[in-house]
Amino acid sequence: MRIKEIGESDLLVTFLTPDRGRLRGIAKGARRSRKRFVNCLDIFSLVNLEYVSRKGGLYLINSGKLVDSFPGLRRNFSILSRASYMVELTEILFPWELPDRNIFEILKKSLHLLSEGKRIDLIPLFFEVVAMSLGGYGINLEKCCVCARKYAGEGKAVFKPEKGGIACMRCQQVTAATPGISPDSVNIIGLMQSGSIAAFEEMDVPYEAIMEIRPILKLHREYHLGQRPRTANYLD
Three state DSSP letters for 118-158: CCCCCHHHHHHHHHHHHCCCCCECCECCCCCCECCCCCCEE
Where residue 151 falls (left for φ over 0; alpha for ψ -120 to 50; beta otherwise) is beta
Q: What is the pTM of this model?
A: 0.93
Q: Given this model, what pLDDT does residue 214 score?
A: 94
CA dist., res. 166 & res. 93, Å (int)? 22
Examine the pLDDT at 64 and tell me if it is beyond 70: yes
Stretch 107-134: mean pLDDT, rounded? 93
Structure confidence by residue, pLDDT tens digits, 138-154? 999 999 999 999 999 99
CATH of the domain at 14: 2.40.50.140
Are residues 78 and 40 part of one domain? no
**Domain identity same for 111 and 59:** no
Q: Is the pLDDT of residue 199 over 80?
A: no
Q: What is the pLDDT of residue 200?
A: 75
Closest CA to 123 of 230, 190, 203, 43: 203
pLDDT digits (tens, 9 = 90+) for 165-194: 999 999 999 999 999 999 999 999 999 998
CA–CA gap between residue 151 and residue 145 (Å, rounded): 10
Tell me, yes or no, whether 150 lies in a domain: no
Say if residue 107 is in the same domain as residue 94: yes
Domain's final residue, options 16, 45, 68: 68
CA dist., res. 221 & res. 109, Å (int):
22
DSSP state of 79: H
Does the pLDDT of residue 236 top 70, yes or no? no
Q: Are residues 104 and 185 in the same domain?
A: yes
Same domain, 97 and 210: yes
User: 50 has which bridge partners?
Assistant: 63
pLDDT digits (tens, 9 = 90+) for 39-57: 899 999 999 999 999 887 8
Number of domains in the chain: 2
Query: For residue 169, what is the enclosing H or E element?
Result: none
**Domain CATH for 224:** 1.20.1440
Last residue of some domain: 21, 51, 68? 68
Which residue segment(s) compose the domain that 183 sits in? 72-139+173-235
Asked which of 68, 98, 117 is the last residue of a domain, the reply is: 68
Question: Is pLDDT at 35 greater than 90 in this prediction?
Answer: no
